[in-house]
Amino acid sequence: MDVYGLIGNPVGHSVSPPMHEAAYEALDVDARYVTFEPAADAGAAAVEAAAELGLRGLNVTIPFKQDVLAAVEPAPLAERIGAVNTVDFGTDPPTGYNTDAAGVTRAFAHHDVALSGTAVVVGAGGAGRAAAVALADEGLSVRVANRTESTAHDLADLVGGDATGHGLDELPELLASAECLVNATSVGMEEDRSPVPAEALHGDLAVLDAVYAPLETRLLRDAAAAGATTIDGGWMLLFQGVEAFERWTGADAPVEAMNRALRAHL
């Protein structure tokens, strides 16, 4: 039996186990997916221990996505983003990937959104970094808006090309000519709030909210009212898991089975 897993702290809320085990069942793969909650300063050590235990692959979530870089050989994309959320133990040393980037682009593709033009990314943390780099690599002009404007400029410099950094007060102007919007902040998770003024949204936008609890956020309600295409955070969560499964197994993931299991637990 192959064993895969997830490290995070906390990790009890994760919906990754049922999502991945649904994939194993659908493809008749003899595997299990388990969770580990190391001490907050033990991310790299946990990866090394997982290798010793013979795990085939490991997902990584908060607060370990940067820490585990010391225990893996990061793939070029993960190195650029500065974070690893998927480890493949099939190489020596283990390879670290960032599948959050694919979670963004595959979520848009699943909703038939043509990735072209200008994308606005709200937030410059881990999810924002993954989204900004992924969309720039797809050829979009990226505009990063963040509460701390200097951090937005830092991310724009990392992305390169014609990416620019901005404060949140510039969102109405930025969105007027944008085709895609990603909320990569946690705004909307615990309160019925949106990081984007409702009047700045319009029908030519495709809006992806990385928040998945709740699935229907204030931002997505406002976007739907404006006639925009809306994509809830469950899709980004699904497709980062799909990408991890495919990297580990080399098989096409059973996307529908994984999506059903994911949404049953959200």
pLDDT digits (tens, 9 = 90+) for 1-33: 999 999 999 999 899 999 999 999 999 999 999
Cis bond upstream, residue 17 (ω within 30)? no
- Identify the bridge partners of residue 165 per DSSP, sorted by sequence position: 144
Cα separation, 161 vs 153, in Å, equals 13
Residue with tokens 């019925």: 192
The per-residue pLDDT for range 126-145, each reduced to its tens digit, is 999 999 999 999 999 999 99
Mean pLDDT to the nearest integer, 242-255: 98
Give yes or no for a contact between 106 and 80, defined as CB atoms under 8 angstroms apart. Answer: no
Give yes or no for a contact between 248 and 6, defined as CB atoms under 8 angstroms apart. Answer: no
Could you give the percent of the chain with pLDDT greater than 70? Answer: 100
- Taking the whole predicted model, whether its pTM rises above 0.85 is answered as yes
Closest among 256, 170, 181 to 220, alpha carbons compared:
181
Positive/negative CA dihedral, 246, 235, 161, 145: negative
Give the number of other CB atoms < 10 A from CB of residue 115.
Answer: 18
Give the number of other CB atoms < 10 A from CB of residue 147.
Answer: 14
Active-site residue set: 65
**8, 108, 152, 175, 205 from 200: Cα distances, Å:** 36, 20, 20, 6, 10
Residue 240 is which amino acid?
Answer: Q
The per-residue pLDDT for range 160-219, each reduced to its tens digit, is 999 999 999 999 999 999 999 999 999 999 899 999 999 999 999 999 999 999 999 999
Residue 195 is which amino acid?
Answer: P
Cα separation, 168 vs 174, in Å, equals 10
Mean pLDDT to the nearest integer, 74-83: 97
Q: Which pLDDT belongs to residue 218?
A: 98
Where residue 76 falls among pLDDT bands split at 50, 70, 90? very high
137: number of CA atoms within 13 Å, CB side? 15
Where residue 249 falls among pLDDT bands split at 50, 70, 90? very high
Average model confidence (pLDDT) across the chain: 97
Q: Which pLDDT belongs to residue 2?
A: 97
- Identify the bridge partners of residue 118 per DSSP, sorted by sequence position: 141
Positive/negative CA dihedral, 88, 126, 17, 29: negative
Closest among 154, 129, 151, 132 to 143, alpha carbons compared:
132
